[in-house]
Amino acid sequence: MIPNVKVINPTITEDKESKIRVAAYCRVSTNSEDQQNSLMTQMRYYENFLADSETERLVSVYADEGITGTRMDKREEFQRMLKDCRRGKIDRIIVKSISRFARNTKDCLSVLRELKELGISVMFEKENIDTANITDEIMVTVMGGLAQEESASISNNVRWGIRSKMKNGTVKFHSAPFGYNLYDGDLIINPREAEIVKSIFKMFLSGMGYDSICRELNESKVIKNDKWTIVNNLDTKRRKELRKSKDFSK
């Protein structure tokens, strides 16, 4: 005798729960109209992107407005997303790029490790990195490379800013190196000290070492109540080169 078998069709709720619960994170750094439009575009993109997915469903879009990426604890929506992750409401996070997720490599790696322990993966679209497919060791390597890129980017931005100010003649100094006086943030040549600086460079170009130059300056007593050392000699040379770079950039 064949037993009766009752077929139970899945309900809509069961179908939804069988899908991977995805959260999308968006962020813009300013409250300008263009940035706000960008934020709305990002939100609509993820809503449409997951609307017809057979394996994933969008549970929420977390969006921080007018927030810089440096401080994670200042981003309310980001923190709300992490709380929902800890409460077991999210299986996966999609974000446009690592820079949208975090600018600080240490914090980024810390959050990714916590999410991995919770069984939550993160997909960075721009970099095409999916933490579901990489091991801890590879993640450390990837983040290490990103840290180097981040450091290089910051250094390049700083150098660009300095060169730009030099080119425009807008560099402001907070203290005057030997050979100059400080006036309203600008360096003004001190005629007497400038002659001493010229003498230092002449001695250096003639082949004299730093010890010999310092000894010569101290014996000549070019500065009263002070003593020349290798440190301030090098400092004078380097600051002079910086000043020359500023003049050449004009």
pLDDT (tens, 9 = 90+) of the chain, 250 residues, equals 545 544 445 444 445 568 899 999 988 765 555 555 667 777 888 888 888 888 999 999 998 886 665 577 788 999 999 999 999 999 999 998 887 887 777 778 888 889 999 999 999 888 788 888 876 556 656 665 665 566 566 566 566 666 666 666 666 666 777 777 877 667 788 888 888 878 877 887 777 777 788 888 788 776 655 666 654 544 544 444 444 444 434 4
The one-letter amino acid code at 29 reads S
Structure confidence at residue 202 (pLDDT) = 81
> From CA 56, how far away is CA 120, in angstroms rounded?
14
CATH homologous superfamily of 14-134 equals Resolvase, N-terminal catalytic domain (3.40.50.1390)
3-state secondary structure of 242: helix
Structure confidence at residue 177 (pLDDT) = 72
Structure confidence at residue 23 (pLDDT) = 95
> From CA 250, how far away is CA 247, in angstroms rounded?
6
> From CA 126, how far away is CA 142, in angstroms rounded?
14
Burial 61-81 (b: 16+ CB within 10 A, else e): bbbbbebebeebeebebbeeb
> What six digits make up the tokens of 110?
């810390």
Structure confidence at residue 152 (pLDDT) = 63
pTM for the structure as a whole: 0.51
The domain locations on the chain are 14-134, 180-249
